[in-house]
Amino acid sequence: MSSNPSHYAASSPWCVYKFGGSSVGTPGRLPRVLSLISEAQRPLAVVVSALGDTTDWLISAASAAARGDEAGSGAELAQVRSLARSIAGTVLESAVLTAHEKTVEQLLAPIERLLTGVELTRECTPATLDEVLSVGERISSELVARALTARGIPALAVDARTFLVTDETAGAARVDIEASRARLTPLVPGWEGKVPVITGFIARSHQGRTTTLGRNGSDYTATLLSWLLGARQVTVWTDVPGVMTADPALVGDAYPVPRMTYAEALELAHFGTRMFHPRTMIPLLESGAALHIRGTTEPDAPGTRIDAEGNPDPHRPTSVTSLERLALLHVESLRPTLNEPLGHRVLQALEAARITVWGGTLSALAPSISLVVPQAQAERAHAVLEEALRGERERREVRVPPPHAPVTLVTLVAESMGHRPNVAGRFFHALGNVGVNVRAILQGASSRSVSCAVDAEDTAVAVRTVHSAFNLNETEINVLLVGKGTVGGRLLAQLAENAKTLKARHGVALRLVGVVDSRRALFEPRGLPPAEVHARLADVSPGNASPPDVRPLLERLSRLSVPVLVDCTAADGLETLYAEAFRRGIHVVAANKKPLARPWKECESLHGLARAHFRTWHYETTVGASLPVIETLKNLVRTGDRVERIEGCFSGSLGAICHALMDGVPLSQAVRTARTNGYTEPHPRDDLSGLDVARKALILARELGLELELEDVAVEPLVPPEHLREEDPEAFLRTLGSLDADVSAQVARYRAAGRSLRYLAQILPNAPGGPRVKVGPVAVDAAHPATGLKGAEAMVSFFTERYREFPLIVRGAGAGGDVTAAGVLADILRLAQNVRGRR
């Protein structure tokens, strides 16, 4: 076989696998690693990290030795031995296990002697620490090679120090590629027919001293090896199924990015993705090999492929990162210009002090500069800048305020970002919509990312919001539904019927995560099929409280992207639940009128709470079911029109009853039919009393800014008040029979006079003596717009300065479970569109 590396690479298409510490050092996972190796194509080179937490224990052992703590150092080494023994015991038989334990002792013996010297001198130099840390990977390499051989797969433990050559820098050595290639070439023929299991992370300097390659050093070893062998692909097996669209601990619906470019991976490395280090990518950029990230726990998942081409879809973002535990520094120039560029001096001073700068607004001519630095270095960085700019500070030309900490750097990375308009606009619009205060906008050298600094407490909501706004999957809305009666039940049906259409045509994934009725509560953060809710809820044992306490579910809901509380009840007291939802960052969509009819100050306080937490409260269906009554009124007011009068039949249920009465149907039968059709409130007396219409009129009056209470609404019920005292709905319906004859006679007189019975509401904001609102039964003439209403139709007329001669009329179905549920669904979709922003 030729020793020429290019000839060897051409004739033997090497593959390189790398396994991390959790893959080889977590109980139960090593057998899976061995299976993956046995199933891989040949020739194959395997790079391994130290088992589990071995590297951390070795660092602790060295630290304890430097303090003179012999017992502490020994205890840390004991953990290394124990883990090596327990993991080996899962894959090696007795005789082989004994040989392996002997090898471990042989590897640890010189380390123990080295640490004894550290204990005596009370000093552990970086070079000494590199030597101590090297034993972790060597133990791992020996174990995996033995385990493979025991399974009938010839394998060879290879110490990377035999071929990787570096400079003398301890802790983060730089590799000499040509020297390393020269040492590797004669070794490769000896690997023929075997799987070399190579130590990651460690190397040897030109002078023969052990060195380490720094953070993600084993990944770097793997990509270096692929370059030296001419491999076309490196597979890094880890404990996640790929490069995720966001940190799964923050975003429950984060998912693996299928493809990305080298440049995107480098950008992610810079902004805190621990999976990458810039040096890991360098060999790939030079060789053109692809890097494949896959999960050992989900080996059949496609993972993430990183290569020169990346994702062919130019509109696909890659990932949202969050770099935490940072501080924000400002330098403010109080003069338009200074003798020397301020940005240059600031960076020079921080670089000289070896302070890491993650990003900032660094225009040399800017009147102020913002920088993000590690929080642990914030005070020292502040002192450095104060000293460097002392002269300007004394002349009052520059201010250096104390650092703002802690902050998080939130970044969206996308290869196509520089080729699409309004990416930054959407990024900041999304954050502004949810009330995240952007402390600084940070500029990078490339167009692949946009970053900002936010307060640490806003990290989770900021990452979830950006993840959702950029449609990394679909815009996901997570719904907790309270009430599954007439309206709630129809909403569940509509969610089941429209889910695919909403996702395919509108890019909205409505996920029902919880349902609460009068006795039970069900919550599943991964989603509930709407069609199965009734059966699933029936299997839940009723709790002690009736209705159930929804507040504990709000905490779980708040952790999901775009959380929405949907109230399809007519229950009292839910304003306290709304307030709790707003405080937890949850939007509210409601068909319940009662919270909006609470005393003025309470209602305004609730609106203020929603605004303070940048949450939306949509309640279009509280007046006119799915008719756009409230939105129409809001638009009139927003555009400066002056509303002079609002009049109409606000209740579809009373409309249906009045229409039936005009057709000669007795009152008791008309009300019973309306209730059967789902038009009335749960207790029909709320409709016949006029209270439901009064609440609707009050809601519209308050949209005009009128500070009115429910008691200010003049209400005349459809039936005499003494018939409204019955608490039981069925008994109430039976008592209405005594009114049938009188009501039918009155209706006959209206018909004879050419009039029609309608239950009318009037809002007069500019009436003499102050605003007036009244509701009650009225006999309208043939010319009145309400005369032509059929069945459960509702109608609202807006008389304004612009619509004085011909009023603006909103008319249509005003009651019924289907239309009200459709209005609730429309409110949810409107919320989704607002969160998503303009694309």
Domains, the chain, with CATH or none: 5-50+136-239 (3.40.1160.10), 319-469 (3.30.2130.10), 475-623+824-836 (3.40.50.720), 629-815 (3.30.360.10)
Do the Cβ atoms of 410 and 464 come closer than 8 Å? no
In this structure, the strands spanning 44-48 and 15-19 are parallel
> What are the strands, taking DSSP E only, across 81-232?
155-158, 165-166, 195-199, 202-205, 210-212
Nearest-10 crossing angle of helices 652-662, 740-752 = 80
Do the Cβ atoms of 697 and 773 come closer than 8 Å? yes
- Known catalytic residue at 696: yes
Burial of 446 (0-12, 13-18, 19+ CB in 10 A): middle
What are the CA-CA distances from residue 11 to residues 2, 14, 61 (Å)? 10, 9, 46
pLDDT one-digit tens code per residue, 583-624:
988 999 999 999 999 999 999 999 999 998 889 999 999 998
- How many beta carbons lie within 10 A of that of residue 120, not counting itself? 10
The C-alpha atoms of residue 1 and residue 586 are separated, in whole angstroms, by 67
- The residue whose two tokens read 């660094």 is 362
Closest CA relative to residue 653, chosen from 694, 627, 695, 692: 692
Residue 330 has pLDDT above 80, yes or no: yes
Buried b (16+ CB within 10 A) or exposed e, 206-218: eeebbbbbbbbbb
Of residues 434 and 34, more confidently modeled = 34
Closest CA relative to residue 137, chosen from 221, 43, 193: 221
| pLDDT for the residue 444 | 58
And the tokens for 416? 């196509």
Instruction: Give the confidence band of 792 by pLDDT, cuts at 50, 70, 90.
Output: confident
State mean pLDDT over 90-114.
Answer: 94
And the tokens for 644? 């002079």
Residue 365 has pLDDT above 80, yes or no: no
Active-site choice (594, 696, 774, 790) = 696
And the tokens for 594? 């009662």
> Model pTM?
0.69
The two counts, helices (H) then strands (E), for the chain are: 29, 30
pLDDT over 70 percentage in the chain: 93
Q: What is the DSSP string of 213-258?
A: --TTHHHHHHHHHHHHHT-SEEEEEESSSSSBSS-TTT-TT--B-S
Instruction: Give the confidence band of 357 by pLDDT, cuts at 50, 70, 90.
Output: confident
Residue 179 phi, psi (nearest 5):
-65, -40
Instruction: Give the confidence band of 837 by pLDDT, cuts at 50, 70, 90.
Output: low
Is the bond into 314 cis (omega within 30 degrees of 0)? no
Whole-number mean pLDDT of the chain? 89
pLDDT one-digit tens code per residue, 197-246:
999 999 999 999 999 998 778 999 999 999 999 999 999 999 888 888 88
Q: How far apart are the first and last CA of the chain?
A: 58
The C-alpha atoms of residue 456 and residue 179 are separated, in whole angstroms, by 46
Instruction: Give the confidence band of 421 by pLDDT, cuts at 50, 70, 90.
Output: low
